[in-house]
Amino acid sequence: MSQTKYIFVTGGVTSSLGKGIIAASLAKLLQARGYKTTIQKLDPYINVDPGTLNPYEHGECYVTDDGAETDLDLGHYERFLNVKTSQANNVTTGRIYQSVIEKERRGEFLGKTVQVVPHITNEIKERVQLLGNSGEYDIVITEIGGTVGDIESLPYIEAVRQLLWELGDNNGIVIHLTLVPFLSAAGELKTKPTQHSVKTLMESGIKADILVCRTEHQISNEIKEKLALFCNVKREAVIQSIDASTIYDVPVMMQEEGLDTVALQKLDLSDDNPPDLTQWNQFLQQHKNPKNEVTIGLIGKYVELQDSYKSILESFIHAGANNEVKVKVRSIHSAHIAGDTILKTLQGLDGILVAPGFGERGIEGKIRAVKYARENNIPFLGICLGMQMAVIEYARHVLGLKGANSTEMDENTAHPVINLMEDQKTIVNKGGTMRLGAWDCELVSGSLAAQIYGGTVDISERHRHRYEFNNAYKQQLESAGLKATGINKETGLVEIVELVDHPWFIGVQYHPEYKSTVANPHPLFVGFVQAALRHKMQQTNASLA
């Protein structure tokens, strides 16, 4: 292929229809046909990145190897494609305007009046084509965040219109994802919302090439023909996307609907090689036919919104399928773990994971959960703040260090505060100033960590945090049994701690969930699920004895 082809995915009628999953599913099918494919997300909010957003606002913040704080959809892209993303894969309105304003201040526009058109739209087009111009990809899929008709999305839609014209015939297409709702009172599916959404798109100068219709009920041929006629698309380009039991069914469903075939034909690309989904289907087979079941307690403070811990939940699906185990995740709000209700709240768990988070809210509940896992020999995995809570819990209840906590030293308290997690002077303000992205880690030979990673000594994992293990207490903690088994050689910072006198107890400073994919489940989650299954079997055998 000489010229990179572009596919734009827009959404209509309502948000949360699953543009990211459709984009990732199509990318998977194209990749499985042998095309080098990547996906990028254009987000219409004015934040420079989601790094400062509360998880309740926008779900989890996903981090790439190069340290970009991005939209959670990039996690879907990596999990489906098993290809790393970067800063270039996520663009926000805030970053677009920031770049344009900086150029204006440097005088790059030579005194011109800076406007949405052409300056903002030109910046968008430049960002869209960064990946395509790299020469690494045959096809770039661009997901436009928001819903067609939103004020925030208008500059992106106009930029897409211009790009389609500039790219020429067969080099760019638009897939429009809409909702076909079922009205129970009438007992039928309604196409009018989709018709209006397509009309709104056409008012902006863009014709949808393919319609993907989200629905809870089967769309008949008659309805597909009606949509084709009134939305000005080919009959074969009306694709049904019915509710699935798992997002990992969607690529297979889209293949059955012929989404990839239609897209390739419209891009004037060969569709001779059928997609090879052997490994994908094997994963689905193991995921849907587990031989055992375990219950994991996810201790966090954003549990009301599942997207807050999206990568963790998906990592359990990958690790569960790998072990042929169904992982039931019981979400537990850390603020609800009180001293007199611990047994009732945590009893019956086969494993406990203490999740990442910022701030002091819910801290004590997380520490209580760590203590319960340690004292009852329950497999434990602490991620980022979870590792820090494990260190603090051990210092308090095993070493007896008074006032050990996770905050900076407070000189006004009545007792000395043991600052176990220290600020490494990486903070200037609260925006993009944490230890971010991929950092190397050297594992201690013979440790649980080294065993989990298959004997590998050197690993690389992604970070997103502000506080670090305070090495002033390292020797004291290690002599008491909490070992540091992963170290960044360049900085000397502790990356992994584990409890030697425990069946499976490990805390990591990084975020392993960011690197777990369908093709490569993360070894930490795989090992954690295995340990949870062993614990369950032991408990079952003990009760039968």
- Residue 333 appears among annotated catalytic residues: no
Q: Which of left, alpha, beta for 343 (phi over 0: left; psi -120 to 50: alpha)?
A: alpha
Cβ-based burial of 347 (10 A; exposed 0-12, middle 13-18, buried ≥19) = exposed
Among residues 61, 213, 231, 384, the one annotated as catalytic is 384
Residues near 477 by Cβ (< 8 Å), separated by ≥ 6?
A: 391, 394, 395, 399, 484, 497
Residues near 221 by Cβ (< 8 Å), separated by ≥ 6?
A: none
- Yes or no: say if 161 and 204 are a contact pair by the CB < 8 Å rule: yes
Among residues 76, 287, 502, 511, the one annotated as catalytic is 511
The SS3 of residue 439 is strand
CA distance 426 to 106: 28
Q: What is the DSSP string of 321-358?
A: HHHTEEEEEEEEEGGG--TTTHHHHHTT-SEEEEPP--
CA distance 353 to 311: 13
CA distance 76 to 330: 22
Among residues 318, 513, 522, 535, the one annotated as catalytic is 513
- Residue 511 appears among annotated catalytic residues: yes
CA distance 466 to 332: 24
- Residue 384 appears among annotated catalytic residues: yes
CA distance 70 to 63: 6
CA distance 511 to 241: 32
Catalytic center residues:
384, 511, 513
